[in-house]
Structures are given as structure tokens and as C-alpha cells.
């Protein structure tokens, strides 16, 4: 009688042979490990997240480096390193180094000077056209 109770109890707990069959069926029906496509998706998401973080870090470093270089070199002569002063040449601001007598133009300033000079030259040559 004791052996019957122990056998009956083992079936109730889940240790019986018919119970094992259902567990094996469940394992086949529900995979324990995610599929390869699922893993690939999450790996791609993680790689993209890390790439965005790295790009943001790189952008911040470049921004900081640009700011630091501007502070270090702003209005300094590229030739001798002395301070540049802005002078007015026919309404155009030009940077001049009084140490080495260098003249430095910002973007668009050369074109503006050439336009001024061209109009003056056109006026001069217009005298000879008549």
C-alpha cells in the first residue's frame, strides 16, 4: 500500500511517464532559444544604437575641438602669430598684422574688393569707348 501511494504521489507531482511526454511536446512547440531572425533583429537594433551614441560623441568632440581652436587662433596672424587688427578698406573690413605687415581676408572679401576695383576700371575705360 505504501508503494501505491508513492506511485500515485509521483504522478500528481509531475514525475509520471505520461507527464514527461507533455513536457517534451511543449518544448518542441515553444522554442527555448529565440530564432536566428529574432537574434539578428536585436543585434541590428543594438548596433544602430551604439553607432548613434558613437556619432553623437564624435560630433561633440569635433565641436569642442573647433571651439578650442577658435579661442586659440582667433584674430592671430597665421604667419607670425601676433594679433590681427581690423582695418577699413573702402567699406570692407580687412584683418592686418602690424608686426609682419600681412593682410588677411575673410570669405567673400576678396570678391568684394575685386568688384570695387572692376567698377573703377570700367569707369576709367568707359572714357576711351566714346
Q: Are 90 and 118 in the same domain?
A: yes
Q: Which domain holds residue 125?
A: 84-129
Question: Can you say whether residue 92 is alpha, beta or left, with left for phi > 0 and alpha for psi between -120 and 50 degrees?
Answer: beta
Count structural domains, the chain: 3
Q: Are 22 and 42 in the same domain?
A: no
In a domain, 70, yes or no: yes
pLDDT tens, position by position, 27-75: 555 555 667 788 889 999 999 999 999 999 999 999 999 888 877 777 8
In a domain, 113, yes or no: yes
Q: Is the full-model pTM beyond 0.75?
A: no
Q: Please, what sign has the CA dihedral across residues 39, 40, 42, 43? A: positive
Q: Are 1 and 21 in the same domain?
A: yes
Amino acid at each position: 500500500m505504501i508503494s501505491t501511494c508513492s506511485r500515485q504521489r509521483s504522478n500528481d507531482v509531475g514525475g509520471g511517464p505520461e507527464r514527461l511526454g507533455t513536457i517534451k511536446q511543449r518544448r518542441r512547440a515553444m522554442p527555448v532559444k529565440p530564432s536566428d531572425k529574432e537574434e539578428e533583429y536585436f543585434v541590428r537594433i543594438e548596433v544602430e544604437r551604439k553607432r548613434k551614441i558613437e556619432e553623437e560623441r564624435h560630433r561633440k568632440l569635433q565641436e569642442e575641438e573647433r571651439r578650442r581652436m577658435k579661442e586659440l587662433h582667433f584674430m592671430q596672424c597665421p604667419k607670425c602669430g601676433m594679433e590681427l587688427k581690423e582695418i577699413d578698406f573702402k567699406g570692407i573690413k580687412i584683418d592686418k598684422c602690424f608686426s609682419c605687415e600681412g593682410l588677411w581676408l575673410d570669405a567673400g572679401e576678396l570678391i568684394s574688393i575685386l568688384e570695387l576695383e572692376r567698377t573703377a576700371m570700367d569707369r576709367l575705360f568707359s572714357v576711351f569707348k566714346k
